[in-house]
Structure 1
Amino acid sequence: MNTDDLSWQAGNCGGLSPRAVNLLLEHGHLDLVIGAAEERGEWFCAERAAQELCRSGGFVRALKVMEPFAAVGWSPALWAKADILLQAGRTDEALDLVRPDEESCSSQYVCRDFAELLVRAGRVDEAIELLVPHLPGWWIRSVLVEITEGQGRDERVLKLIAPHAEAARRALGKDRRDFSDEGALVLQAQMLERMGRADEAIGVLGADIAAERSGTQNTLTAYAELLARHGRLDDLRELATGQHAHTVLDIFAGALRDRGRAEEAETVMREAIATDNWVGYRAWLSSVLLQDGRLDDAITVAEPGFSLYDCSNLLAPLVYPLFDRPEELLYLLDHPLTVPHHGHEEFQCWWRAFALARLGRAEEAIAVVETHPAPWTDPRIARADLLSTAGHLASAAAELQDLGTIKAREALFEILVKQGMAPQAIAAHPTVAEQRAAKQQAAEAKTPSVPDRENGYSLEPPF
């Protein structure tokens, strides 16, 4: 075990991935997870095993699991060990293990992490002092507000945030092209609200909006959500039906629904569609109609967006919530208004195959993907996945065992766990070394050697 190996695991979800570890834990195999951490050097196993052990008070065992990873000096493992020590009540040991030196204190990221640990240790004032030199950084101000919630330091935090909010107001009033500090306005309002001064928060942020001291949607959204939380629907309606409608009309409609006025919310959005026909209005309305079980109405509203590009396409947002409702998913895919997903038509075949498999119709599902194979998936792995989804675990396992590739063995792991064969699943799963070697080979295969010119530039693209 070394830092390079551990960094590769963390960066590539290598070894037993978080999903794989969670599957083992869901089936009650904590001891196997601990064993994989100890015997195979599996980082995600060590991390999750320690968390589970701490949850049940097993701090000594958690430290034993984490110690080999921390012993190599790898930073995430050291922080994980500090977390265990802190939960075990060994506060000074935890803080001393990861306490930043003078040079490290120049890093906002290191100070953020240590400040969070200090707050958990009950040393809130130390945490605040550590962050103060970094408050010119906008995101550290957000960290300060977040970690001090409920810690009885709101007055002090507000005083630290206020000068940055005033500086932002001056900058935005003078040159509205500079929005780097605009977040301080929202944080100031957030603190006022947290201190029970909601009317003051609304007044301050509302004045900024009125004076156009906001250049991003974040401030408008924060103000609208503030109005919604405190029932200021008349003010919110005025904001949502003006020039900022694209940003906040959905918040107004959502506030109406939250207060039992769903029909009024639907009317508001349908009127907006009739006037503007913006895809964002259709996205919101189709989504809530689907939540209400009105699939036909949702399809009708979303249909003009089925042929749009990428994030504007409204088919996928209807598909994903129906993965657990395969009959309705097939109904959507077969609906006369549904057109192939723009630029990703193959998705529709895979969605159909998945729905058929969920309904137990494995052979029909397999026929769909064999007719429309995806270039990024081995056909036999796809076949095994559909067999597994349809509940034919033994047949799926046989397919993958015969194939025997790294990807096949990763897929086989999940099936064997579901079959009650967790030890065999871990044995079948490729090691970190095998995964790294396979990834390296794949990278080399994608990068053929091309001769260079005398000046060092390639003779062929990419130049």
Structure 2
Amino acid sequence: MNVDDLQWQLSNLGGVLPRIVEEILGRGGLEALVQAAREREDWFCAAGVVRGLCAVGAFERAWTVVEPFVATGWQPAVRAGADVLLRWGHVDQALELARPERPQENPVDAWRDYAEALVRAGRVDDAIGVLGPRLRDGRLLGAMVEMTEGQGCDERVWELLAPIAEEFRHGPEQRNDLWGALAAQARVLERTGRVDQAIRLLGADVAARRYGPQNNVEFYAELLARHGRVEELRDLAETQRYSAVRPYVTALENLGRAGEAEAYLRDLIAARHPGWHESTLMGLLIRQGRVDDAIEAGEHTFDDLYDGNLLQAALTLLADQGLHDRAIGLTKGRSPEFLAENEESWLRPNRWWLMGESGRAGEAIAEIQALPADRVEDRELTIAWLLAQDGRVEEAIALLRPLPGARAAADLAELLIREGRLTEAIAVIPDVATQREEKRRLRAEW
């Protein structure tokens, strides 16, 4: 078993796709996945098998499946193996497995996983002791806050976070990697009931513009919203529109003040304040069942050639409400300039998808077949999906089977799963070596 292959699978969603693994599990195909994990050395199959076996208490067999992967020392497998052992009740063996072998060399993930195993073994103080000296790595800081929630140790966590947060406050430009300490500190205060202190501290940080690349403004806005601080949230939205307008609108809506939220958004739009306020307004109106008003709110952008175009958002909102025919109508009558830029790349494929979802797959297939083959990207894949939507699954399978590439294989596998042909579904997916070669070739062509 090759660690490089395992990492490639994880980084590239290689091998058998996780969604296909879940579909096979859902159809009772555990044994087919066990075979694939063993014979293909497929990580996602192995991980799915472990979840399925642990769910029914078959921990010994789950360990048998994951042990060859664990033996490579690859961290995701070590994590999964420790999880199996903990659930099996082999606590000492789990902790021995999870403990980093070379403390000075092991990456952040190994320390996080070891601390998580300690917490699950009931040794929370030991977990904090492991992470405490390493909290200046933001990933471990956030992990400690996550894993200690509800463990009765918030005061100790607070004591560790406070100096790190102060270090960032006094030199944010030098310690940009510590930005997460501010939100983490507020989160610990919030869960101990000191909400006013959390809001005061983080509010001062936001006002002083102390936040990092994934700034804390959004967390602060959500903190205010969770505790009904609507007026403070509105004040924040006046200066931090990109991060705070949507939480403010949601808070008003949750309080039954949707009319006030609508008026606020319309004022922002009328004043031409930057931001995706039309999109937020469309969502608000759709949730109220006001479909015509929602379309009207965004339709002035539907022919724009720039990022402010909300046609795609409108199609998605309508489809989510089951209003496929209404969405299809919006794809028609667009300007020649818009069609020249967008029709082939995404507008027509979206229309065909909507038609397939609304029982008009045959009509969509006819549209595709009336076009020159070189004018339709992924022509056979699209037709195959539409055939399946139309109930013509065997025709779709026959169309997909000779097509090359991992995507066609995944589509074929999903249809075979639908037909209950689970082992065959796995067999049609190229192995990892073949998929890696395909990726390498495609990169070279680019």
Does TM, normalized by the shorter one, top 0.5? yes
What pairs with 1:64-463 in structure 2 (closer than 5 Å)? 64-104=64-104, 107-171=107-171, 179-214=176-211, 218-240=215-237, 242-307=238-303, 312-323=308-319, 325=322, 326-334=324-332, 340=338, 343-345=341-343, 346-370=345-369, 371=371, 377-403=377-403, 407-444=407-444, 446=445
Change (3 A) 1:165 1:70: closer
- 2:90 aligned partner, one-letter code: R
Change (3 A) 1:255 1:179: same
> Does the CA contact (< 8 Å) of 1:307 and 1:342 recur in 2?
no
Question: How many angstroms apart in 2 are the aligned matches of 1:209 and 1:407?
Answer: 45
Change (3 A) 1:19 1:383: same
Question: How many angstroms apart in 1 are the aligned matches of 2:417 and 2:330?
Answer: 33
Change (3 A) 1:117 1:342: farther
- Tell me the residue number matched to 1:27: 27
- 1:67 aligned partner, one-letter code: E
The alignment status of 1:61 with 2:61, answered yes or no, reads yes
The alignment status of 1:5 with 2:1, answered yes or no, reads no
- 1:360 aligned partner, one-letter code: G
- 2:203 aligned partner, one-letter code: G
- 2:67 aligned partner, one-letter code: E
- Tell me the residue number matched to 1:450: none
Aligned with 2:171: secondary structure?
Answer: helix
Question: How many angstroms apart in 2 are the aligned matches of 1:375 and 1:116?
Answer: 52
> Does the CA contact (< 8 Å) of 2:405 and 2:438 recur in 1?
no
- 1:111 aligned partner, one-letter code: W
Task: State the Cα distance separating 1:284 from its structure 2 match.
Answer: 1.1
Task: State the Cα distance separating 1:24 from its structure 2 match.
Answer: 0.8
Question: How many angstroms apart in 1 are the aligned matches of 2:319 and 2:21?
Answer: 23
Question: How many angstroms apart in 2 are the aligned matches of 1:57 and 1:86?
Answer: 12
Question: How many angstroms apart in 1 are the aligned matches of 2:38 and 2:376?
Answer: 34
- 2:294 aligned partner, one-letter code: A
Aligned with 1:334: secondary structure?
Answer: coil
Q: Which segment is superposed worse, 425-434 or 383-392?
A: 425-434
C-alpha RMSD over aligned residues: 2.9
- Tell me the residue number matched to 1:451: none
> Does the CA contact (< 8 Å) of 2:98 and 2:110 recur in 1?
no
Question: How many angstroms apart in 2 are the aligned matches of 1:167 and 1:365?
Answer: 60
Change (3 A) 1:338 1:164: farther
- CA distances 1:170-215 after superposition (whole Å, capped 9, x unpaired): 235xxx7975434322222221111101112222223334455457
> Does the CA contact (< 8 Å) of 1:315 and 1:341 recur in 2?
no
Please, what TM-score do these two structures have when normalized by structure 1?
A: 0.86
- 1:11 aligned partner, one-letter code: S
> Does the CA contact (< 8 Å) of 1:290 and 1:318 recur in 2?
no
> Does the CA contact (< 8 Å) of 1:299 and 1:337 recur in 2?
no
- CA distances 1:198-249 after superposition (whole Å, capped 9, x unpaired): 1122222233344554577733322222222112222222332x33334312
- Tell me the residue number matched to 1:455: none
- 1:6 aligned partner, one-letter code: L
> Does the CA contact (< 8 Å) of 1:282 and 1:302 recur in 2?
yes
Change (3 A) 1:32 1:267: same
Task: State the Cα distance separating 1:26 from its structure 2 match.
Answer: 2.0
Task: State the Cα distance separating 1:136 from its structure 2 match.
Answer: 2.1
Question: How many angstroms apart in 1 are the aligned matches of 2:30 and 2:109?
Answer: 32
Task: State the Cα distance separating 1:159 from its structure 2 match.
Answer: 0.8
Task: State the Cα distance separating 1:336 from its structure 2 match.
Answer: 6.4
- Tell me the residue number matched to 1:461: none
5+ residue gaps, structure 2, are: none
Q: Which segment is superposed worse, 65-74 or 206-215?
A: 206-215
Question: How many angstroms apart in 2 are the aligned matches of 1:126 and 1:105?
Answer: 20
> Does the CA contact (< 8 Å) of 1:21 and 1:44 recur in 2?
yes
Q: Which segment is superposed worse, 190-199 or 75-84?
A: 75-84
5+ residue gaps, structure 1, are: 448-463
- 1:330 aligned partner, one-letter code: I
> Does the CA contact (< 8 Å) of 2:356 and 2:389 recur in 1?
yes
Greater relative contact order (CA < 8 Å, ≥ 6 in sequence) = 2
> Does the CA contact (< 8 Å) of 1:313 and 1:342 recur in 2?
no
Question: How many angstroms apart in 2 are the aligned matches of 1:267 and 1:412?
Answer: 49
- 1:113 aligned partner, one-letter code: D
Question: How many angstroms apart in 1 are the aligned matches of 2:81 and 2:435?
Answer: 27
Q: Which segment is superposed worse, 300-309 or 193-202?
A: 300-309
- Tell me the residue number matched to 1:459: none
Task: State the Cα distance separating 1:55 from its structure 2 match.
Answer: 1.1
Task: State the Cα distance separating 1:333 from its structure 2 match.
Answer: 2.2
Aligned with 1:218: secondary structure?
Answer: coil
Aligned with 1:397: secondary structure?
Answer: helix
Task: State the Cα distance separating 1:306 from its structure 2 match.
Answer: 3.3
> Does the CA contact (< 8 Å) of 2:303 and 2:335 recur in 1?
no
